[in-house]
Every structure is written in structure tokens, then in C-alpha cells.
Chains A and B, each alone.
Chain A
Amino acid sequence: SAVISQKPSRDICQRGTSLTIQCQVDSQVTMMFWYRQQPGQSLTLIATANQGSEATYESGFVIDKFPISRPNLTFSTLTVSNMSPEDSSIYLCSVRREGPSEQYFGPGTRLTVT
């Protein structure tokens, strides 16, 4: 398995502000993913973050709203910009390792926007 930590674990933010979420993995991984889970919903992929290249965003998500950094093979950040109450969600970092079954998730960041 992989040990993945996320900071912060939860936060309450004012609308119009930005929050940066950090994801740290205990070993090097090529692929890191950021997912969003809105209240009572399933998980939706925001973007794929590969080290050394621009993040790839899914339909409906844009870099200006969710800028991502991937400075090395163990770390990534996701920023939620200009927040509105609709951004209230759990944000989860996920990593893919070599084996086909090896896809693990961090503990999540529970964000509430007021």
C-alpha cells in the first residue's frame, strides 16, 4: 500500500478566497490524481498531475479554478480558487503505483465554503 497524507484535513473558508491542499506520498509515484466528492455524491476526477508536465484537466474543470503543482515525485498541491459554496466538497488525492491494482487514496480534505 501507499502512505498518503493530506493537509489540511478540513477547513472552513469564506467565499472568494483560495485554499491550497497538499498531498504527500511516502514514496515516488509517477501518477497523481485529484478527485472531488460533492456532498452525497460519487467521486469525480478533477485532473491528473504528472511530474514535469502540465496537469491534464477533465471536462468541466479548468486550470484557473483548480491550479495544480507537481514539483517532484512525492508531492502535489491543488488550489481551489475564488471559492463559492458550490466548492464545498471532499477533495481526495490519489496515486497510482506500478501494479494494476495499486491505486490508493489519501484521507481527504473536507472543505466547507461559507
Chain B
Amino acid sequence: AQKITQTQPGMFVQEKEAVTLDCTYDTSDPSYGLFWYKQPSSGEMIFLIYQGSYDQQNATEGRYSLNFQKARKSANLVISASQLGDSAMYFCAMRERERSDKLIFGTGTRLQVFP
């Protein structure tokens, strides 16, 4: 069964607008962590934001925020005030604490920001 699902293969957003990238997950482990990474065309994986399953508040990092809805098992990334440099692939990933330390990745969403 797929553990991380990103249903949007591609998204477009106009510069300065906000955009939401969807991510749903599946786990029976009560302790887990959710990550978002950005991958520009250069190939590097840039860490954006993290949400722990026991965190009471939604994570925020600058223009990035994570809309964590535990009951729905969703962890959507919100990018506010999009910039042209935000154009990249975005991957959602999960680590199940009690199983292993490995990250399981979704299939990614390609975001394109246009002027």
C-alpha cells in the first residue's frame, strides 16, 4: 500500500499568489514525522519544513507552512507569496519512528510559478 500520496503531478501559480501542495499519508505508527523537500532542476534536495505527529501546532518556516490534519492524515504544504525561484519539484516524505529511520517519499509535485 502506498504510504505517501501526492495527487498533483503538476501545479501552476502566479507570482505573489499562495499555493497548496497536497500530501496524504498512511501509517499505523503513532509516532511519525512528515517532511517536505524542494528539488530544483540541479537535483539537490532542500529541506523545507517538518511536522511531528505529536506537535500541537502546524509547522511554519518563513513562507512555508504545513497544514497538518491528523484525523484526515494529510500534511499539505502552503507556499505564500510565490516567487519565480519556487519553481521546482516538491516531495512529501514520512518517517515512521518505531519502524525505521528511513524516509518514504511521495511521487512529487512539479510547481511552476509564472509572472
Contact = CB atoms under 8 A, between A and B. Distances in A.
Q: Are A and B genuine complex partners?
A: yes
Report whether over half of chain A's contact residues are helix, strand or loop; otherwise say mixed: strand
B10 to A, nearest CB: 12
Contacts of B44: 105-108
A42 B35 contact: no
A103 B47 CA distance: 8
Contacts of A45: 102-103
A43 B91 contact: yes
A94 B93 CA distance: 13
Interface size class of A (residues with CB under 8 A): 20 to 34
Contacts, number: 58
Interface in B11-62: 33, 35, 37, 42-47, 50, 52
Nearest to A33: B102
Given A31-B101, A48-B101, A48-B102, A107 B42 contact: yes
Given A48-B101, A103-B95, 7 more contacts: A33-B101, A37-B43, A42-B91, A45-B102, A48-B100, A100-B33, A103-B47
12 contacts: A1-B47, A31-B101, A43-B93, A58-B102, A90-B43, A100-B52, A100-B97, A101-B35, A103-B47, A103-B95, A105-B45, A108-B45
Interface of B: 33, 35, 37, 42-47, 50, 52, 91, 93, 95, 97, 100-103, 105-108
